[in-house]
Amino acid sequence: MREFCPSGFVDVRSHYYAPRDELIAQVVSRLVGDVPQSELEAMLGGHYITVWGPRQSGKTWVVTHAKWEIQTRYWDRFTIIDISLSGLQGLAPDGDPDIFDFPLALWRLLLSASPEPMNRIDTWIEFQTLFCNFWDRPVILILDDVDALHPDYLALMVAQFRALQKKEQSLLHGLALVGTRPVPEIGSKLDAPFSVQRSVHIPNLTLGEVEEMFRWYEKESGQPVEQVVIERVYHETGGQPNLVSWLGTLLTETYNPDRSRPITLAHFDAAYAAALYDAPNDNVANIVNQARQKKYQDVVLGLFRTTQRTPFLFDDLLLSRLYLNGVIDREADGTRLYARFSSPLVQKRLFDYFTREIFPHTGRLYAPFEDLTAIITDESLDLPNLLRRYERYLRENRGRLLRDVPRRKSDMRPYEAVFHFSLYAYLTQFLEHRAARVWPEFPTGNGRTDVLIEYAGRRYGLEVRSYLDAHEYRQAVEEAARYGHSLGLEEITLAFFIGTISDDNRARYEVTHHDEETGVTVRPVFVETGTGV
């Protein structure tokens, strides 16, 4: 029986996988070109391409299967060389990279993959000659892990391949550069662009592909998987192949004690809780490690703000690096692209990380003999009053709480996200000993933060925003009603962070709204921070 593959290369003989036939066919078509009918035609028609996408998206798997397809169909037409450049990682130019022995290092890798012996190569001229007179048939060259190369070496290597394209006697029929960067970025360090800018982008899995993997498991194991579980796996991972298989392993193995019963939402909740707080995963660890770096602070913490979206530009080096490392994704809105977190799972892991990193100690939340019955009893929780108690806590401890928090470079004010993290830490600690469950939700992938609380057999919803203006306030009330309705709630609390607010404005805007369309009651509450947000 097969199993899900949470790490390493997916083996089609022993793992569940998505066939991705269209992507494989696209790579084959790009590298081979028109089907060759003669030796002369076989030397024409191939392309130089990049196969690119975020880390752990399945680039190597797609290219490997494309290589096998070419070998099967055109075994007598082409020589295929497939090598990884990961062995060249760490080589850095000292002064002029032309004088370094990089061509020799590349030749050694080619030698290891070549079926024929090769004369030693020490210069780029000899490197070009290798592809003009050494082979007895056209060559398709696949170079994986091109990101391992120092940018100067990568630019030099691409320049050589560009020069080879212009040589009539060149036998290099097709070239695939496999990594996290598309052709325009690879060619950006050159005096002229890479001459054939074709690329194959490897996207995440679709809902249909994720469902196909789990239905395959059903057929082999005889254990049904509820449709809602498959949809939650897809939603929480964004279809990222590694995360899908990781959750698949947790669901079908670790948190699957009785295979005679269907896998239900209860199984998913247990597996997902482990994915968020307990189970190790190298891919997630790398994402968190990337996001926590100081150079990315403005971008990552800025994505948690509720009053402004972050435009996505591939020319922005920080944004492109975060995208290619799996931290963020792109979403289209009309003709514009905006950055968002790559998946709810990633966003929740980062939210939890920054909450613990910035507020490891909340201190005393309330006085030892303080009467809390207006906030919480054994039967109920009053969220608006809890928010007012948090506001008082923030006012009393502002100096300590905000002394060392991350601040925007533009005005040195705390990031808006800092207050989201602070509130979440407060709520978690306040309810820790009350047999309550508290967790964040991010319905849009950026901007909005929602906190859900289960206490005394009832679910409470809290939507958190920063106040911008009256128009945004009215819109937020309408959206909160719709969100509460989607959760099956009769009431939802809407918290607005604001620097300062007068008593008159508080009385004017802290008015309970009953939405006629959804039937949901929205209770707005303003939380004064004492500083701009």
Distance CA 489, CA 452 (A): 11
Residue 104 lies in a domain: yes
Answer yes or no: is pLDDT of 251 > 60.
Answer: yes
Are 260 and 371 contained in the same domain? no
Give residue 272's pLDDT: 95
Domain containing residue 366: 352-528
A 10 A CB-CB count for 360 gives 8
Q: What is the mean pLDDT of residues 49-71?
A: 91
Q: State yes or no: pLDDT of 186 exceeds 60.
A: no
Residue 297 domain-assigned (yes or no): no
**Alpha carbons 181 and 193: distance in angstroms, whole number:** 14
Residues 256, 351: Cα–Cα separation, whole Å: 28
Tell me, yes or no, whether 381 and 506 share the same domain. Answer: yes
- Mean pLDDT, rounded, of the chain: 87
Coil, strand or helix at 148: helix
Measuring CA to CA, which residue among 155, 147, 150, 151 is closest to residue 192?
Answer: 155
What pLDDT score was predicted for residue 248?
97
Q: Is the pLDDT of residue 420 over 70?
A: yes
Residue 12 within a domain: no
pLDDT of 184 strictly over 70: no
DSSP-assigned beta bridge partners for residue 336? 333
Confidence of residue 47 (pLDDT cuts 50, 70, 90): confident
The verdict on 356 and 259 lying in the same domain is no
Task: Please say if the pLDDT value at position 194 is more than 50.
Answer: no
- The rounded percent of the chain whose pLDDT value lies above 90 is 60
Q: Residue 310 domain-assigned?
A: no
Query: CATH number, domain at 95?
Result: 3.40.50.300
pLDDT digits (tens, 9 = 90+) for 457-468: 999 999 999 998
Residue-wise pLDDT for 338-391, tens only, equals 999 999 999 999 999 999 999 999 999 999 999 999 999 999 999 999 999 999
Percent of the chain residues topping a pLDDT of 70: 91
Judge if 379 and 494 occupy the same domain.
yes
Same domain, 110 and 145: yes
| Residues 74-120 pLDDT 10s | 888 888 989 888 877 777 666 555 445 677 777 788 777 776 777 78
The single-letter code of the amino acid at 222 is G
| Residue 299 forms part of a structural domain | no
pLDDT in the model for residue 190: 46
Does the pLDDT value for residue 532 go beyond 70? no
Say yes or no: 259 and 393 in one domain.
no
What is the average per-residue pLDDT within 168-178?
Answer: 87
SS3 content of the chain, % helix, strand, coil (to 5): 45, 15, 40
- Residue 133 forms part of a structural domain: yes
- 189 with 211, same domain: the answer is no
Domain count, the chain: 3
- Cβ burial of 163 (10 Å; 0-12, 13-18, 19+) is middle
Judge if 245 and 369 occupy the same domain. no
363: left (phi over 0), alpha (psi -120 to 50) or beta: left
Residue 191 pLDDT: 45
Q: What is the pTM of this model?
A: 0.87
Return the minimum-mean-pLDDT range out of 134-148, 463-477, 500-514. Answer: 134-148
